[in-house]
Chains A and B, each alone.
Chain A
Amino acid sequence: MKAGLALLCIVLALASLALGPVDLAALWARDPELARSLFIELRLPRTGLALLIGAGLGASGAAAQALFRNPLASPDVLGPSSGAALGAVLAGYFLGAGVIGMAMGGLAGAGISLLLLLALAGRGAGTTRLVLAGVAVSMLLGVAINLALSLAPSPFALYDLMFWLMGSLNDRSLPQLALAVPLILIGIVLLLRAAPALDTLALGEEVAQSLGVGLSAVQARVVVAIALATGAGVAVAGSIGFIGLIVPHLVRPYVGHQPGSAVLPSALAGAALLSAADITVRLLPAGLDLRLGVLTALIGAPFFLCLIMGRR
């Protein structure tokens, strides 16, 4: 399955590079210089970001569900996505920063939300306390985002920020790609290294400990990795919901419902799903400006509903 998903990612990446409102091949014939810069400065970062952010969200979702032993957990419950959104909003207004400034603000926000979470949960906190602290931090940051929006200096600023929060990969550039790539990759690698311990956690925390899993170390590593992988994504692209929640459910039946073994295929499936969503958004008629985050939520919410109905 991993090979199939990897192949799908490659196909979607090529499609993402080739497809768009502008026919690059035709443009190349007329103006090679413009076609080249369009390709390198728009298509390439957009394709790379869709793959990476999707992979980060998918892997984080699988890891969060494994760590909390809860199929309805998503990386958002820990707060770094809200932290990144708040950081970007604040940078957007008080510093009047552009996309790069907002991304830096988002990263700072994700980092601060992580510190807040760890401080609230305390050292060696149980998983329940960690998730409760995460919910508290997310709610607090969500309220802070609303407060910041209601204090917007002008209706235009408000409009821009609202749109940014909906999540999009429009007009992202190479510096943003360079900013997000290392952080998301480090996050994913940390999650992959925690995968065997996350599998063992299926037996419960006490049993995992008795089998030699260092629970606090795994917890800390996974929380930091999720903050890196999702925080960096939100900082660059805004909020993209539901991928982290859905993808692990699509993948887990194919890995024998082993929660940790689902991390790698979830990363691949997340990358494929977000790339497909981004291509869809791009190919919609020009008048219909559907945001990427809105599209993933439009697909994700009914799926989530089916999931809950199926468990009843």
Chain B
Amino acid sequence: MLEAIDLSRPPMLAPTSLVLHPGQLTGVIGPNGAGKTTLLKALAGLSRGQGHVRLDGQPFVPHPRRLAWLPASRDSVWPMPASALVQLGLGPAAAPDPAAVAAALAACDATALAHRPVSQLSTGERARILLARAIVARPAWLILDEPIANLDPGHRLDVMALLADEAARGCGAVLALHDLDLARRCERLLLIVGGVVVCDGPPEFVLAPGILATYFGIRRDNHGFQRI
């Protein structure tokens, strides 16, 4: 159980308390600048703001097997091979674990990229390598900022399926996303607007037409979403 107690970072995030449950896929949606990244970072224990995070009743202490944080940035400075980058996800000075690295790469459909320098990959390919880095230590919690941005439609579905699998094995997965169709695959959605979680519940509740109209200014018709 991941508890957020009075997390806040004015003006991006108003005081927020949440309880997240393991084995559940939670989506965080909201317009640009709403505070999704700020909330996720705070949940990952990386905020310089107020409040604190408790993991299973204990104050949160970072560890590769406890919680993985995936930032939205796809930057990579050093042209290291993809497999070496994934290995780093096992933690500083961790013993090389080629089996775990290969499994993580396979789960992200990136086995063929293992020996390529990450700097030469496309943004979408790099996104999959970075996701493999996040899951390689099989952490109890995954906090992922826009893991499916930059991915092609097929790989978006793959990643959503992968996260559902991770949740099924007991992992708590939280991801920010903009794709409201894929957001329906989450068991729980948090809608954040202006630094405040305004809606929290199952997708059919949070993605109701009235809420989409009010907070995103969109409606759905036969051709998909339309601007109101």
Contacts and interface: CB of A to CB of B under 8 A. Distances in A.
A101 interface: no
Contact of B93 (A70, A196, A204, A209): A196
B92 interface: yes
Contacts, number: 72
A221 to B, nearest CB: 13
Interface residues of A, number: 23
A257 B92 contact: no
Given A212-B63, A257-B79, A258-B80, A203 B92 contact: no
Contact of B133 (A196, A203, A256, A258): A203
A67 B41 CA distance: 22
Contacts of B41: 206
Interface in B28-81: 41, 44-46, 61-64, 67-71, 73, 75-81
B91 A212 contact: yes
A211 B78 contact: no
B41, B63, B68, B84 interface centre (most CB from chain A within 10 Å): B84
Contact of A256 (B44, B68, B77, B84): B84
A204 B64 CA distance: 15
A210 interface: yes
A199 B78 CA distance: 10
Interface size class of B (residues with CB under 8 A): 20 to 34
A209 B84 CA distance: 19
Contacts of B88: 199-200, 202-203, 211
Contacts of A206: 41, 44, 46, 69, 71
A2 interface: no
**Cβ-closest 10 pairs across A and B:** A196-B93, A210-B69, A257-B80, A196-B92, A200-B92, A257-B78, A69-B77, A212-B62, A256-B84, A211-B91
Interface of A: 69-71, 196-197, 199-200, 202-204, 206-213, 252, 256-259
Interface of B: 41, 44-46, 61-64, 67-71, 73, 75-81, 84-85, 88-89, 91-93, 117, 133
